[in-house]
Structure 1
Amino acid sequence: MQRHEKLIYGVLVRGIDVLPDTKCGHYASEKDIIAIKFPCCNTYYPCYECHEAVADHEAIVWPRQQFGEQAVLCGHCGSELTIQAYLDADSTCPHCQSAFNPGCKAHYPLYFAMD
């Protein structure tokens, strides 16, 4: 696996084996098409494992009061979604209707303060 920085729809995404639609070396199914901006570094990564592998610091989750921030990138159409719009989207991009991986819900607490 190789570290990559890739411009996806003009947005820099860092990670491991990053592909043009935000898939990575850890998650590469046809529905793994989002990247999430981490508030600790204001940088998009395809997944928490990419952040762990590439960043030089601990990840911080988004607090609830910042769920209005644009922090989710659709790798299919390039739309940046607010956290709340992403959480409300039912695993479908509200702009292009591309399917997101519903299994990502299991990882929400790694990105967003869910309590």
Structure 2
Amino acid sequence: MRRRVHDTTVRGVDVGPETRCGHYDGPTDVIALRFGCCEAFFACAACHEATADHAAAAWPRDRFDEPAVLCGVCGARLAVGTYLEADFACPDCGAAFNPGCARHYDRYFEGVDPVEG
């Protein structure tokens, strides 16, 4: 399925108005991530796996200065560096982001190790 979240198309399974999906539906599950393989935003890696017709590829390191994270609360598009330095909150609106996403950084951002916690 595809859903417009602010002015961005987000793909996935049962995507809600703030980017929550059928896989992650908690109060802080409010980001979508852009994949390097198709340049499309998905609610999560499992959504990409379930709905895309190709293998996922993380956002390339040499493009970390480009927007690759969408805040589902306010619609801000964040560069990877900005997102990683934001301490699990949107720097534009202050919405809390799920810190558990750090366990999957390697799926989303090329060369970034997952953080256990």
Name the TM-score class by shorter chain: over 0.9
Q: 1: distance between equivalents of 2:81 and 2:69? A: 10
RMSD: 0.9
- SS of the residue corresponding to residue 89 of structure 2 reads coil
- Point out where structure 1 has 5 or more consecutive residues left out of the alignment: none
Match of 2:92 in 1: 95
Match of residue 24, structure 1, among 9, 12, 21 = 21
SS of aligned partner of 1:6: strand
Deviations 1:56-96 (A, max 9, x none): 00011122221111010000000000011001111000000
| Number of equivalenced pairs | 112
Q: 4+ runs of 1 displaced by more than 6 Å?
A: none
User: 1:63 and 1:24 mapped to 2: Cα distance?
Assistant: 24
Residue 83 of structure 2 is matched in structure 1 by: 86
The unaligned stretches of length 5 or more in structure 2 are none
Alignment of 1:37 with 2:34, yes or no, is yes
- Match status 1:76 vs 2:73: yes
- Report the Cα distance in structure 2 between the residues aligned to 1:38 and 1:62, rounded to whole angstroms: 5
Deviations 1:10-62 (A, max 9, x none): 11001000000000000000000000011111110010000000000001112
Structure 2 Cα separation of the partners of residues 6 and 63 of structure 1: 25
What percent identity do the matched residue pairs reach? 51
Equivalents in 1 of 2:40, 2:81: separation in Å? 18
Matches within 5 A, 1:29-68: 29-68=26-65
Structure with bigger strand share is 1
